[in-house]
Structure 1
Amino acid sequence: MKFVFFFIYVPFVYSELHNFTTTYTEMNGQMVAEIPEISSVTVLDGQPIDFYDAEIKKLIPRQDWMKEFASGGRFKEYTEFRERLQRTNEISIHVLMERFNQTHGVHTYQRMYGCDWDDETGDSHGFDEHAYDGKNFISLDMKELRYIAYVPQGLPTTTKWNNNKTQLEFVNQYYRHDCVGWIHRLLTLRKTNLETKGILEVSLLQMDRSSPVLCHATGFYPSAVTITWLRNGQNYDEDVDLRETLPNEDGTFQKTSTLTVPPDEWEKDQFVCVVEHMGRTIRKILTECKMKNSAEWCFYGCVFYS
């Protein structure tokens, strides 16, 4: 497994498999002035939910629902638990430099730990991976409950950790039980917040008269949504492309269905996009809309979007 120096958010496709991962990064010197030498990012289902800056010793929420969580008493418990786990199996980068006979240069130690949980089957999997300068260094074998060294320089550390039965019991409890417990709590917080604040919005968009018409639904939660087209009141799917559901940065979702028909057809026939979500139905009728210029999108209802 390869590590990268910094976490970059990548959109994910919502599924029943949930992931809760913290990536800890330590550098022996700042490559960029704005980047702390020690930091960590926690990600839930592909979205960063908090960032820990060791220099200011503060856990910073990254999602609105996490900010609300931060105002409550359990956030202190969450922070203390994170800090305790962070200190478990932490390796000094200066010790690693000595083992690799390095006296200068910029070097990076990273640890990626957490768990996956399938809420359909109940199966879970914990992991604890360590890397040095982007290469595998040590990992935890959950089946055998022992640490494995990928290189000779890691053997002194794995021998020490594997002989510490108290520490092994703690990590076993966390990766098999506590980690999934935090997934449950955080998913509940996110679900409650998004169901309360999520607002379904539907728009019909077209770049020009000859391009496909996009029926775009966004701001909804949970992810299950139905988008269909009607032609003169009848279901129509011959020239329709239903695209995958994608996440928004705030945890809500978006989905698009495109209709590709010649202008003369949607001028003589009535086309309607129907979006259904959680018992609510929104209908958008495709009608004539004049554009200011050809470089703009047409937002049906004669509101222009560029």
Structure 2
Amino acid sequence: MKGFILMFLGIVHLHEAFGVSHSMKYFSTASSEVSNFPEFLVVGMVDGVQMVHYDSNSKRAVPKQDWMIKQPGVLCETETENLFNLERTFKATVDILKQHFNQSGGVHILQYIYGCSLDNESEQKEGFGHLGYNGENFLEYDMKTLTWKSLKQQADFMQDKWNSDTSRLVFWKIYLTQTCIECLKKQVVNGKRTLMRTVPPSVSLLQKTPSSLVTCHATGFYPSGVMVSWQKDGQEQHKDVEHGETLPNDDGTFQKSTRLRVTSEEWKNNKYRCVVQVTGIKEDFIKVLTESEIQTNRGDPAPNIVPISGGVVALLLVVVVVVLVVVVGVVIWKKKSKKGSVPASTNDTDSAYSGEGLLKT
């Protein structure tokens, strides 16, 4: 299951490509009849680093970074009381959706992914919000029209209700264009020692058998912005190259793999090399494809690569891991054409988690 946990970061960094942008994202999940798992979870992240966690078991908003623990009030929008209210509205919304679709027992999951990003150089601001139910894309916030857009016919009733709620629309306009951006700036300033650090990667060339694809695996780097490419005789290769997602390690760093389909005869007659570039680090990290550089897991465990499978969606919730709320939302989002999970809405323009007004379904 750890593979699924790591899988989510491919989407967590949608707005953090190779560049100098920062993002803040909140992942909220409400579920019914999922054993050994909280009925409600929220995970807040800045630049892919978890900053806060709340669940229905503890009923506490817990800061996860030193800069938040040492500086009270930096949680911005994650006060325990507000998240408790949000928990109640989430659970109520699940019941409303179950009733609307004539669903009774079984596992049902409501998810929000929402947040914002800011490019330091261009000062371009972006906001985003997604709502998903039972692994299906439901609603998406349209920053151009400042309204909610239905992503499937079954969600039209929610689109109509949400867009007819003036206070909800006012909240999202203010939150995504102002509140979220200001909170993001605050987090980046206070957490700059963590968020602005750079850590170089460890690069390995891996191959299971002589006929397998050759994997260039970069791990242990920070920040998450990375390019892992294959070159042949100095020219970047695109054909027969498979790029993996950028995934998290347990220590807060990241990993990424890119695989090359090439015969041993071909790479012995040509110069193939893997080039790794990490945001904020000027040096390129290069591994030349030679027989002595290739590591194999025949008879021994491979280096720290987590296998990724693609078929499970909602039932990932059975894994009791703090970041799982992010995983579940993103795995579903990823699997269903970047579909999603969702943002929370509210009537209170002063707090992103003003629970009573968030989900007037």
Same fold (TM over 0.5): yes
Q: What is the Cα-based RMSD across aligned positions, in Å? A: 5.5
- Superimposed CA distance per residue, residues 86-139 of structure 1 (whole angstroms, 9 cap, x where no aligned partner): 647947739967xx699x96797847363344635724346486979x897x99
Superposition pairs of residues 192-231 of structure 1, within 5 angstroms: 192-193=193-194, 196=197, 198-222=199-223, 223-225=225-227, 227-229=229-231
**Larger strand fraction of residues:** 1
**Deviation (angstroms), 1:204:** 1.9
Preserved contact between residue 112 and residue 128 of structure 1 (Cα < 8 Å): yes
Please say if 1:56 is aligned against 2:61: no
Superposition pairs of residues 85-104 of structure 1, within 5 angstroms: 87=85, 90=89, 93=92
CA distance in 2 between counterparts of 1:242 and 1:145 reads 40
Q: Any idea what SS the aligned residue of 1:173 has? A: helix
Q: Which runs of 5+ in 2 are unaligned?
A: 17-22, 304-361
Aligned residues: 275
Query: Which one has a bigger Cα radius of gyration?
Result: 1
User: What amino acid is the match of 1:252?
Assistant: F
Preserved contact between residue 31 and residue 94 of structure 2 (Cα < 8 Å): no
**Deviation (angstroms), 1:202:** 0.9
- Give the structure 1 partner of residue 19 of structure 2: none
CA distance in 1 between counterparts of 2:141 and 2:291 reads 60
CA distance in 1 between counterparts of 2:216 and 2:131 reads 43
Please say if 1:247 is aligned against 2:252: no
Residue of structure 1 aligned with 2:28, choices 9, 14, 23: 23
Q: Which runs of 5+ in 1 are unaligned?
A: 1-6, 300-306
CA pair 225-248 structure 1, distance change in 2 beyond 3 A: same
User: What amino acid is the match of 2:258?
Assistant: T
TM-score normalised over the length of structure 2: 0.51
CA pair 128-247 structure 1, distance change in 2 beyond 3 A: closer
Superposition pairs of residues 1-306 of structure 1, within 5 angstroms: 10-12=8-10, 14-16=13-15, 18=23, 20-25=25-30, 27=32, 31-42=33-44, 50-60=52-62, 66-74=64-72, 77-78=75-76, 80-81=78-79, 83-84=81-82, 87=85, 90=89, 93=92, 110=110, 112=112, 114-117=114-117, 119=119, 122-125=124-127, 127=129, 151=157, 162=166, 172-186=173-187, 192-193=193-194, 196=197, 198-222=199-223, 223-225=225-227, 227-229=229-231, 235=234, 241-244=240-243, 246-249=245-248, 250=252, 252-256=254-258, 258=260, 260-263=262-265, 266=268, 273-277=274-278, 278-285=281-288, 286-288=290-292, 294-295=298-299
RCO higher in structure (CA 8 A, sep ≥6): 2
**Deviation (angstroms), 1:247:** 1.6
CA pair 158-194 structure 1, distance change in 2 beyond 3 A: closer
Q: Any idea what SS the aligned residue of 2:219 has? A: strand
**Deviation (angstroms), 1:240:** 7.0
TM-score normalised over the length of structure 1: 0.58
CA distance in 2 between counterparts of 1:206 and 1:283 reads 17
Preserved contact between residue 220 and residue 254 of structure 1 (Cα < 8 Å): no
User: What amino acid is the match of 1:204?
Assistant: L
Preserved contact between residue 206 and residue 295 of structure 2 (Cα < 8 Å): no
User: What amino acid is the match of 1:216?
Assistant: H
CA distance in 2 between counterparts of 1:79 and 1:289 reads 49
User: What amino acid is the match of 1:173?
Assistant: I
CA pair 81-263 structure 1, distance change in 2 beyond 3 A: same
CA distance in 1 between counterparts of 2:295 and 2:61 reads 48
Preserved contact between residue 221 and residue 253 of structure 1 (Cα < 8 Å): no
